Chain A
Amino acid sequence: MSTESVPFYLRSEQRPLNRVLRWIATALIVVFAAFVAFPFVWMLLTSFKTQQQIFAEPGNLLPPAITLDAYFRIWSELPFARLFLNSIIFTGGATALSVFFDSLSAYALSRLDFPGKTLAFYLVLATLMVPYQITLIPLFQTVFDLHWLNTYQGLIVPRATSAFGIFMLRQFFITVPRDLDAAARMDGAGEFRIYWSIMLPLARPALATLGVFLFMNNWNDFLWPLVITSSTEMRTLPAGLALFSGQFVIEHAVLMAGATLSLLPLAVAFLFAQRYFVQGIATTGIK
């Protein structure tokens, strides 16, 4: 490796001592990565075991024979397709709406002046600091008063915007130079036009990042659907899977199979959005 291809500030690393240190660091990272990945490996392998295998030989990670019993039970005891569909509707709907509304608000908070703007921003920030459990009952009451219990709109609308999203996108929009939109304004373009045609395209990485982040948060959220829905048909996947945990009995293989099934869409989405994602988080108002 020629010294030309190595960045300036890393050239001192060519010295032997530094190379040894680097190898040690690499080894440590690999070990650490194995540690981080281990729970997922265990979860996947356990989903292919029977109850007996889980308890009789915990030290054996690999199942003696792959049993699809747990997956079969989930399929037969839950309206799986329906739960999956509900998850898609809820997560997709809430995420799409949230990205849209959050970006509108973030644009307003960063580019436009209106009375109460600073107050609004701090209010939004402050809502992040209240633990959500305390608002469960009042929220349940409100949704009931709107006759939205056990409905899609009851599930989606309260989640159609996110304080975190507004905060994140606002930090991003602030860093975008104002020349472009100033020029557009001089040409007489309306604010929505500027937002839609200039800001949003520039913000694609940040929007994608927020989208992935919200998608995974909403997908995994089982407490919220359990509060809003009471019938199994309206439940989302994680909420439906909660039915396999009893008060005193946990059916581990089934639980792990359910967790794997729940994680799969996220893993797939994440792998696709990988490059976008890591690069995207970068551009979110950290400048």
Chain B
Amino acid sequence: MATASIGARRHRRGHAGLLFILPSGLIILVFVIYPIVQSLWMSLHDWSMFQVTHPFVGLANYAGLLHDPRFWNALLNTIVFTVATVPLQIAIGLLLALKLVRSSWWTIFLRSVFFFPVISSFATMAIVWRFLLSADVGPTAAWLRSAGIAPIDALHTPSLALPAVILVGLWKNIGFTMVILLAALQDVPESLKEAAVLDGANPWRRFLNVTLPSIRHALLFASIIAVIVSLQVFDQVYVMTRGGPLFRTETLVTYMYEQGFTEYRSGYAAAIAWVLFLIIMAISVVQLRFFRYRDVD
């Protein structure tokens, strides 16, 4: 009799489970997954949003990408952007977190300052940054000039535009990483640290062998999110450089946007999106393996 009721309860829990995910499930199915599937379908067609019928072309769009120098350029820029941004974002976020881990009014104030960019609207702040980085009409340029230094026109110099975009991206997102790692640091057990001190470990070894492993879950979470966001970079590039100069800041998503909404090649744009998806998926899987993070399952 006992086993029967346990089975019945599990059955009820299964029912409950389905009911619980029903609202989210429905919404995600209709408004997220369905459009995503539609975009996959679009990528297999020569799809112009001006037309009612669209010829099926199979993998022709994907094949076209292989021979498209602008695609490879965008891919390269995106990878460079991500490789430069993510480690810096994690490292600086971690340094800030380590420094601000003790809660006092001073550290709380500083934490807020660093987190503020995260809550601001990037579209508007990118316009602000364009002004600040301008070698002609911005305040920094004026100050440099009055000090006798010729300001550098970063956004219009092919070799400097991408670093400028990276810098603005870091400004926006470091606060987020910092807060995540802050939290994790506050949970590092005292006992472990004391044991390490008693064992005679110096600060650096303590950090390496005690602190880092304790926060590895937070590090993984932060870096997965950072990678996903970096690979999809769009806002600041679109506002600050439009992918220029000479396509040096064109990323996969800005190229995708341009193909879809300026040249009206929605199928081709969808193919770019799906290639990007595969890349993000692959990198995320690698990260999970690397961190041997089994908790995700």
Contact = CB atoms under 8 A, between A and B. Distances in A.
Complex contact flag A–B (Cβ < 8 Å): yes
B217 to A, nearest CB: 5
A9 B125 contact: no
Given A36-B171, A158-B31, A112 B99 contact: no
Interface string B28-42: 101111111011001
Contacts of A109: 21
Nearest to B129: A39
A124 B28 contact: yes
A33 B28 contact: no
B247 interface: no
B24 A161 contact: yes
28 contacts: A8-B193, A29-B96, A29-B100, A36-B114, A37-B113, A39-B129, A40-B116, A42-B139, A43-B125, A57-B142, A59-B139, A102-B24, A112-B17, A114-B18, A126-B281, A127-B32, A133-B253, A135-B35, A142-B30, A191-B16, A238-B123, A238-B124, A250-B127, A270-B116, A271-B112, A282-B184, A284-B183, A286-B184
Interface in A158-195: 158, 160-161, 163, 166, 171, 174, 185, 190-192, 195
A267 B112 CA distance: 10
B123 A222 contact: yes
A197 interface: no
B124 A262 contact: yes
Contacts of A107: 20
Contacts of B27: 101, 157-158, 160-161
Nearest to B266: A137
Interface in B121-153: 121-125, 127-129, 131-132, 137-139, 141-143, 146
Nearest to B185: A282
Interface stretch (B64-72, B83-91, B154-162, B272-280): B272-280
A163 B62 CA distance: 28
A219 B117 CA distance: 14
A59 B13 CA distance: 66
B120 A263 contact: yes
A124 B297 CA distance: 13
A134 interface: yes
B28 A278 contact: no
Interface string B213-225: 0010110010000
A59 B146 contact: yes
Nearest to B36: A130
A15 to B, nearest CB: 11
Contact of A282 (B124, B137, B187): B187
Contacts of A243: none
A25 interface: yes
A259 interface: yes
A118 B23 CA distance: 18
B110 interface: yes
**Which of B14, B36, B129, B270 gathers the greatest number of chain A CB atoms within 10 Å?**
B36
A68 interface: no
A207 interface: no
A105 B21 contact: yes
| Contact size range, A | 35 or more
A101 B127 contact: no
Given A8-B190, A117-B17, A238 B121 contact: yes
A36 B113 CA distance: 7
Contact of B142 (A59, A131, A190, A286): A59
A74 interface: no
Contact of A161 (B28, B221, B232): B28
B9 interface: yes
Given A127-B32, A133-B260, A191 B99 contact: no
B194 interface: yes
**Which of B118, B120, B132, B273 gathers the greatest number of chain A CB atoms within 10 Å?**
B120
A108 B21 contact: yes
B79 interface: no
A92 interface: no
Contacts of A39: 117, 125, 128-129, 132, 171
A255 B124 contact: yes
A37 B116 contact: yes
Closest 7 A-B residue pairs measured CB to CB? A282-B183, A59-B142, A112-B17, A114-B17, A135-B35, A108-B20, A158-B31
A76 to B, nearest CB: 21
A187 B280 CA distance: 45
B206 A263 contact: no
A215 to B, nearest CB: 9
A275 B121 CA distance: 22
Contacts of A287: 187, 217
A105 B25 contact: yes
